[in-house]
Chains A and B, each alone.
Chain A
Amino acid sequence: MEGQSPVQLEVERLIRVHGRNRTALMPILQELNRAHSYLSEEAMLCVSKELGVPRAEVYGVATFYSFLSVRPRGRFVIRMCRSISCAKQGKFHPVTAALMEELGISFGETTPDGLFTLEKTNCMGMCDQGPAILVNEDVHVKLTVASVLEIIDDYRRKAKAEGFGKKIA
Chain B
Amino acid sequence: MDVKSVRGLVGNKLSFESVSADNGLKRAANMTADEIISQVIASGLRGRGGAGFPTAKKWEFARSEKGDSKYIVCNADEGEPGTFKDRLILTDFPDLVFAGMAIAGKAVGAEHGILYLRAEYAWLRDHLEKVLEWRRSAKLLGKGLFNNKYFNFDIQIRMGSGAYICGEETALLESLEGRRGDARNRIPFPVQAGFLGKPTVVNNVETLAWVPCIIEKGPSWFSAMGTKKSPGAWLFSVSGDCKRPGIYEYPFGTSLHQLLEDVGGEDAKAVQVGGASGLCVPPTGFSRTLSAGDLATGGSIIIYGPEQDMFDVAENFQHFFADESCGQCVPCRIGNVRLLDAIRKMRKAGLDAETERTLRQLTSTMRTASKCGLGQSSTKAFLSILDNFKNELPPVVGEAKATAAAE
Contacts and interface: CB of A to CB of B under 8 A. Distances in A.
Nearest to A22: B178
Contact of A61 (B80, B119, B179): B179
B312 A65 contact: no
Interface residues of B, number: 57
A67 interface: yes
A139 B178 contact: no
A84 B317 contact: yes
Contacts of B323: 122
Interface stretch (B146-154, B183-191, B234-242, B289-297): B234-242
Contact of B81 (A27, A33, A68, A85): A85
Contact of B119 (A27, A53, A64, A67): A67
B79 A123 contact: yes
Nearest to A128: B245
A112 to B, nearest CB: 26
Interface in B278-324: 300, 302, 304, 308, 312-313, 316-317, 320, 323-324
A137 B159 CA distance: 12
A134 B122 CA distance: 10
A128 B1 contact: no
B41 to A, nearest CB: 31
Contact of A26 (B159, B245, B313): B159
A125 B118 CA distance: 10
A39 to B, nearest CB: 11
B113 interface: no
B162 A121 contact: yes
A127 B82 contact: yes
Contact of A129 (B8, B240, B275): B8
Interface of B: 1, 6, 8-9, 78-84, 86-87, 118-123, 125, 158-164, 175-181, 196, 237-241, 245-247, 275-276, 300, 302, 304, 308, 312-313, 316-317, 320, 323-324, 326
Give the top 8 A-B pairs by smallest Cβ distance, nearest first. Answer: A25-B178, A67-B162, A65-B161, A66-B162, A127-B239, A123-B81, A137-B122, A85-B82
22 contacts: A22-B179, A25-B178, A27-B158, A30-B119, A60-B180, A65-B181, A83-B82, A84-B302, A84-B316, A84-B317, A85-B81, A85-B82, A88-B308, A123-B80, A123-B320, A125-B84, A125-B86, A125-B87, A127-B84, A128-B237, A138-B123, A139-B1
Interface of A: 22-27, 29-30, 33, 53, 57, 60-61, 64-68, 82-88, 121-130, 134, 137-139, 141
